[in-house]
Every structure is written in C-alpha cells, then in structure tokens.
Amino acid sequence: MKRIDNSRSSFTEEHKYLLAKKRVEKIKSFYIHLAVYIFVNIFISAIIIYGLTSDNEYNFQEAITHFGTYSTWFFWGIGLFFHWLGVFGTNLFFGKDWEKKKIEKYMDDYKF
C-alpha cells in the first residue's frame, strides 16, 4: 500500500502563496510610491511657481519653464524608475519565454 504524502504538496502551496503575497505587496508599495510622487511633486511645483512669480522676477510662462520647477520630478523620477525595475523586472518586454517563442516562430516560418 502506497502512502500519500500531503505535507510536501501543502508546503509548496504555502510557499507559492507566500511568494505571491510578497509580490503583491511589492506592486502595492510601488503604486503607493507613484501616488505620493505625483501628489508631492504637484504641491512642490505649485510652491516653486508661486515663489518665482510672487517676487515679480519671473512671469508665469517663465516660472513654468524654469528647471527648478521640474527638478524634483526629474531626480525623484529616476528613483521611481529604479523602484519600477525592482518590482516588475527588466524582462517586461523580453519575458522568459520570449526567446523560445521567437525561435519556434522562425523555425515554422523557414520550413526546409
């Protein structure tokens, strides 16, 4: 009589669940980071534009095109981009199966 070992399958299911939960938490933290990035940078840009125009040093058009208005967007955006890479990885465009699928497609295209 063969004994069924459910402890191993239950361990792998629990492990898969924990990995999936961790992945969802990473994605959630990225979207929270993105939301904070947008709201904080809008606020900072508004303050900078107000400060530049209130001194009568710049008009509104010049204040909007001033680098200082968008510098936090740019530098924080670099950090946000690396956070995105950490969450979604570099294989977003060239996934794990991309190379295999392309080889199979070209093999089918070039039937000898």
The predicted pLDDT at position 6 comes to 55
Query: Token match 């936090």: residue?
Result: 72
Q: For 95, phi and psi rounded to 5 degrees? A: -65, 180
Examine the pLDDT at 26 and tell me if it is beyond 60: yes
For residues 50-58, average pLDDT: 85
To the question of pTM greater than 0.85 for the whole model, the response is no
Q: Taking each helix axis as running N to C, give the angle between helix 6-54 and helix 67-88, from 0 to 180 degrees, rounded to the nearest 10.
A: 180
Examine the pLDDT at 61 and tell me if it is beyond 80: yes
Examine the pLDDT at 72 and tell me if it is beyond 90: yes
Examine the pLDDT at 91 and tell me if it is beyond 60: yes
The predicted pLDDT at position 98 comes to 72
